[in-house]
Structure formats: structure tokens, C-alpha cells
């Protein structure tokens, strides 16, 4: 009868069987498992997990219920050799394939840091390449061992035994979801605060909290901008006005110029009729010249006010970039218009010269006992 029971046990447990047991004892380099067999069940440390482990207790504890695969029955030594990693792999591949097909996000623990990435246990050996760990570059992964990461499977090959995972894909997906939500929050006409992330030849990209918007070079400032780097630098905090939002394309058009007071704001407090100021000739046109008084503020010198003599075109006496003194004739902040005159500055100067000359000559004539005639005064002045 006893022999019959032994025979039944041998038939019940054969090489390749997957059975359940309970961890009875942990020894150096192995775990003993009670599987209800006449021999002790032994899981060598190398058969505990699909990755290298330092200690048996890192994977199992006494009392744990485990599923194991029978590798061989050693009647001579009176033990049965088991594998936890082989049993785990039986179901793992089906579960992993399902996760891969569904695009599931799940948590794994980093078991080891190796050249090129991280090793994890997903029932079989899983690998996270260094480039797929974070959205940013990581120079040293040494402190990642033991960390829990949320990943998804990006490459799966059961025949090759390959499972490639990515945390970066999960982070990218979350950023895109946040971006989509943020895009629907942003509305044209809003004035927002953002951070300059990147500068290009045609403008600057500003982060609005998960969404980057473009400030085109034409919207950088109220005055002409040669290069965006003349106005902003990376890391700057800027106020921007939302011009347009295209959620489908993920594009947001912004303006720094529209969010800041215009150069004409308060211009009537800075310039009044009669003021004589210095400006720079910026444009010559058929009807006169535009003179810049402040960045973005230009006044017109009409052709009739360019000089004391008749000129057919402004370029007869002026050139672009020339610094000139002008007299303010009229200022309108509402119309963004300033009328200027070079002729009146020259006329004022001529009158002052005449008055000064007359005064000086009258003084000289008094010393000599007489004022002289106006003809004498103006004749001398004109000769001079």
C-alpha cells in the first residue's frame, strides 16, 4: 500500500509540472518549499526570478505561497528541483502580451542598473533603455535601483524573450493629456504670464504651463526687432496676450507687444507743441521724412518743413540715420501722430543769431557814441 502511494506521488509530480507550494525555510542560496511531495522542494537562488538577485529573502519570505515549475526529481539526493521564475513566465507572457496590446500602464520595481538601462522583473526579464527612462537626459542611474516606475510596454517579442518598457512614454502621454486640457482653457484675448523656453530666428516659444505658444518676431515689441534675442532671453518671465488658439494643431499664437503699453502711451506728457527735441531720421518718403523721437514713436516732418529753402525731395538735405533737431508742431496720442519741423528750428536759430548780433552791435555802437543804422547792422550780418 505504501509503495502504491509513493508511485502515485511520482506520477503526480513530473518534470514540467506547475504546482503550488509554501515557503518552509530560507537557506543560503536557496528556498525550501513544501509542495506535499515526499521529497523536499528546492528553489535555487538562480531560479527565483528572471533577473539576478543578491538574497533569497529579496524575492520570497517564509510562509509565502508560490507557484513553481518542476525542473527535475532527484531520487538519489531525495529532493525535487523547482523554479519560480519558470512558473511565473508561463502566465507572464500571456499577461504581458495583453498589456502590450491594450497599452496598459503598470508599476514595476527596478532590480538592477546595467550598462544602457534598467532591469525589472515583470514575470520575465524586462528592460528599460536609458533613453526611455525620463523625458530629460539622465547622466547617472545609480540611485534608480529599488525605485518604483510607471511604465508601458513599447516592444514585445515572445519568441525572442524580449520585453522593452518605457517610463518616458507614460510621462509623454501625461504631458500630452495635460497639454490638451490646457489648450481648451486658453482663450484668445487673455493676458497670461509665461516663461521663454526657446528662441529662434523667427520668434520665441513661451511656456504657458504645459503648453508652448509662439511669439512671432513681429509681435515681440512695438518697435522693429532685428532678432528676438534683442528683446528676450531663455528663462525670462513675460506677459503675453493670446492672439489665436488652434487645439487641433496644438498651436497658440501670442504677442508680447499687445500685452504691454504702447510706445505712444503718455506721449502727450512727454512732448508738447513748441518743444525742440532731437530725433533720428528713419524713413524718407515723397512727402517728407519720418523722425524717430522714442523707440516706436515717429513724427512726420512734412516736405514743406524740411528746410528754409524749397526742396523737391527730403533726400536733398536729409539721409536715413541722420540725427536732427526738430520742433514739435502738434501731438495727438489718440491718432498716434506728431507733426514736426526742421525749418522752424533753423528759423528760430537764425532769429536768435540776428537778435544776438543786433544786441552785440548796439552795445558796441553805444560805446562809440551811437547805435548806427539797421542797414549797417543787417548789412554786416549778411556779409558775415
Cα dihedral across residues 355, 361, 364, 369: positive or negative: negative
Choosing from 198, 232, 259, the residue where a domain stops is: 259
Return d(Cα 377, Cα 380) in angstroms, integer.
Answer: 5
Q: Is residue 123 part of a domain?
A: yes
25 and 53 in a single domain? The answer is yes
Choosing from 146, 171, 196, the residue where a domain stops is: 171
280 and 255 in a single domain? The answer is no
Return d(Cα 105, Cα 97) in angstroms, integer.
Answer: 13
Q: Mean of the pLDDT values across residues 96-119?
A: 95
Q: Is residue 316 part of a domain?
A: yes
Structural domain including 250 reads 186-259
Question: How many other β-carbons are positioned within 10 Å of the β-carbon of residue 164?
Answer: 17
192 and 255 in a single domain? The answer is yes
User: What are the tens digits of pLDDT across the range 143-194?
Assistant: 999 999 999 999 999 989 999 999 999 999 998 888 888 888 999 999 999 9
73 and 47 in a single domain? The answer is yes
Q: Is residue 374 part of a domain?
A: no
Return d(Cα 69, Cα 82) in angstroms, integer.
Answer: 5
User: What are the tens digits of pLDDT across the range 15-28?
Assistant: 889 899 999 999 88
334 and 288 in a single domain? The answer is yes
- Residue 377: pLDDT above 80? no
Helix, coil or strand: residue 39:
coil
Cβ atoms of 222 and 240 closer than 8 Å? no
- Residue 73: pLDDT above 50? yes
pLDDT confidence of residue 369: 52
- Residue 54: pLDDT above 90? no
Of the given ranges (74-83, 198-207, 228-237), which has the lowest mean pLDDT? Answer: 74-83
Give the CATH number, domain containing residue 123.
2.40.50.140
pLDDT confidence of residue 58: 85
Choosing from 225, 243, 259, the residue where a domain stops is: 259
Q: Is residue 157 part of a domain?
A: yes
Q: Is residue 354 part of a domain?
A: no
250 pLDDT tier (thresholds 50, 70, 90): confident
Q: Is residue 357 part of a domain?
A: no
Please tell me which of 255-264, 275-284, 342-351, 365-374 the model is most confident about, judged by mean pLDDT: 275-284
Helix, coil or strand: residue 193:
strand
Average predicted confidence (pLDDT) for the chain = 87
191 and 253 in a single domain? The answer is yes
| Residue-wise DSSP of 301-350 | EEGGGS-SS--SSGGGT--TT-EEEEEEEEEETTTTEEEEESHHHHHHHH
287 and 312 in a single domain? The answer is yes
- Residue 302: pLDDT above 90? yes
255 and 278 in a single domain? The answer is no
294 and 227 in a single domain? The answer is no
Q: Is residue 278 part of a domain?
A: yes
250 and 275 in a single domain? The answer is no
50 and 70 in a single domain? The answer is yes
Distance set, CA 353 to CA 302, 347, 371, 382 (Å): 25, 10, 18, 11
Q: When comparing pLDDT for 25 and 77, which is higher? A: 25
pLDDT confidence of residue 69: 93
Give the helix, strand, coil percentages of the chain, each rounded to 5: 30, 35, 35
Q: Strands 18-27, 65-74: parallel, antiparallel or unpaired by DSSP?
A: antiparallel
6 pLDDT tier (thresholds 50, 70, 90): very low
H or E stretch including 223? Answer: none
pLDDT confidence of residue 5: 39
Those residues whose C-beta lies under 8 Å from the C-beta of residue 318, and which sit 6 or more positions away, are 281, 284, 289, 306, 324
- Residue 4: pLDDT above 90? no
Q: Is residue 3 part of a domain?
A: no
Domain count, the chain: 4
167 and 190 in a single domain? The answer is no
Amino acid at each position: 500500500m505504501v509503495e502504491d502511494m509513493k508511485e502515485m506521488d511520482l506520477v503526480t509530480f513530473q518534470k514540467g509540472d506547475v504546482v503550488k507550494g509554501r515557503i518552509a525555510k530560507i537557506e543560503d542560496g536557496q528556498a525550501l518549499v513544501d509542495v506535499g511531495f515526499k521529497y523536499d522542494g528546492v528553489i535555487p537562488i538562480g531560479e527565483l526570478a528572471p533577473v539576478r538577485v543578491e538574497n533569497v529573502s529579496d524575492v520570497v519570505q517564509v510562509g509565502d505561497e508560490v507557484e513553481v515549475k518542476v525542473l527535475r526529481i532527484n531520487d538519489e539526493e531525495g529532493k525535487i528541483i523547482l523554479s519560480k521564475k519558470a512558473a511565473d513566465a508561463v502566465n507572464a507572457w500571456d499577461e504581458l502580451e495583453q498589456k502590450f496590446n491594450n497599452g496598459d500602464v503598470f508599476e514595476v520595481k527596478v532590480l538592477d542598473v546595467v550598462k544602457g538601462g534598467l532591469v525589472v522583473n515583470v514575470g520575465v526579464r524586462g528592460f528599460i533603455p536609458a533613453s526611455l527612462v525620463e523625458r530629460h537626459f539622465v547622466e547617472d542611474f545609480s540611485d534608480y535601483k529599488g525605485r518604483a516606475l510607471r511604465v508601458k510596454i513599447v516592444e514585445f517579442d515572445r519568441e525572442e524573450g524580449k520585453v522593452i518598457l518605457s517610463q518616458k512614454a507614460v510621462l509623454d502621454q501625461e504631458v500630452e493629456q495635460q497639454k490638451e486640457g490646457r489648450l481648451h482653457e486658453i482663450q484668445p484675448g487673455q493676458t497670461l504670464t509665461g516663461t521663454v523656453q526657446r528662441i529662434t530666428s523667427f520668434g520665441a516659444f513661451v511656456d504657458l504651463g504645459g503648453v508652448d505658444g509662439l511669439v512671432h518676431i513681429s509681435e515681440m515689441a512695438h518697435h522693429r526687432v532685428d532678432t528676438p534675442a534683442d528683446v528676450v532671453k531663455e528663462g525670462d518671465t513675460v506677459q503675453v496676450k493670446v492672439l489665436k488658439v488652434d487645439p487641433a494643431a496644438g498651436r497658440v499664437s501670442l504677442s508680447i507687444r499687445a500685452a504691454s503699453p504702447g510706445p505712444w502711451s503718455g506721449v502727450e506728457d512727454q512732448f508738447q507743441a513748441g518743444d525742440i527735441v532731437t530725433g533720428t531720421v528713419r524713413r524718407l518718403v515723397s512727402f517728407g521724412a519720418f523722425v524717430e523721437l522714442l523707440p516706436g514713436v515717429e513724427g512726420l516732418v512734412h516736405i514743406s518743413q524740411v528746410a528754409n529753402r524749397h526742396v523737391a525731395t527730403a533726400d536733398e538735405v536729409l539721409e536715413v540715420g541722420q540725427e536732427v533737431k526738430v520742433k514739435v508742431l502738434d501731438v495727438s496720442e489718440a491718432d498716434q501722430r506728431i507733426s514736426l519741423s526742421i525749418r522752424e528750428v533753423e528759423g528760430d536759430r537764425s532769429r536768435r543769431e540776428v537778435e544776438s548780433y543786433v544786441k552785440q552791435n548796439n552795445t558796441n555802437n553805444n560805446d562809440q557814441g551811437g547805435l548806427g543804422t539797421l542797414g549797417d547792422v543787417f548789412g554786416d550780418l549778411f556779409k558775415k
